[in-house]
Amino acid sequence: MKINNHWFNELTKVQSPNFDERPIEEDMSLVVVHCISLPPDQFGGNYIDQLFCNQLNPEDHCYFKEIHQLKVSAHLLIKRCGEMIQYVPFNKRAWHAGESNFKGRPRCNDYSIGIELEGTETTEYTDEQYEQLVSVIKSLLNHYPKLSTEHIVGHCDISPGRKTDPGNSFDWGRLELA
């Protein structure tokens, strides 16, 4: 996978307005793995795109009444079928981590790349998602010199007590990056 101007060349792009400048533009030194399903425990459709683009209709599902005003995004989504969508260029700060801390360094959005997996904390992820995630991370490691295999974490690791994703259903052993 090739990265050009901080976008993957061959992916669908759905540009989210929910990003801003990083304090240090070239500081991409952490990868954060998340999970998301909209509505909860349901897969497919374009509700994630709508959420990340501030277009989620609160009338489409009762849960959306609680979240439709959130201003959130991730850099990348990997759907259950392996399809990938990029929302924010990697050199910009996506709004995915919230209150967070990695090894004593707060504000993980400032220096991280957020990858959402379509899924839940209790549903196994698909082979296609693991294959794509490995490919994405390898490309990011090759392109951004501050990233390392020791700096790939779950949202639960940087926001303990507040977040639990990607959950026990995520098999960290499947990230064969060597």
3-state class (DSSP) for residue 137:
helix
* Catalytic site residue from 25, 59, 116, 131: 116
Residue ranges of the alpha helices (H) in the chain? 47-52, 64-67, 127-143, 155-158
Question: Nearest to residue 52, comparing CAs of 32, 77, 33?
Answer: 77
Whether the upstream peptide bond of residue 39 has omega within 30° of 0, thus cis, is yes
Q: Which residues of 137-172 are buried (b: 16+ CB within 10 A; e: fewer)?
A: bbebbebbeebeeebbbbbbbbbeeebebbbeebee
Q: Which residues contact 163 (CB under 8 A, 6 or more apart)?
A: 98, 155, 156
User: Does residue 121 have an active-site annotation?
Assistant: no
Report CA-CA distances (Å) from 85 to 48, 67, 162, 173: 10, 21, 26, 24
Q: Which residues are catalytic?
A: 116
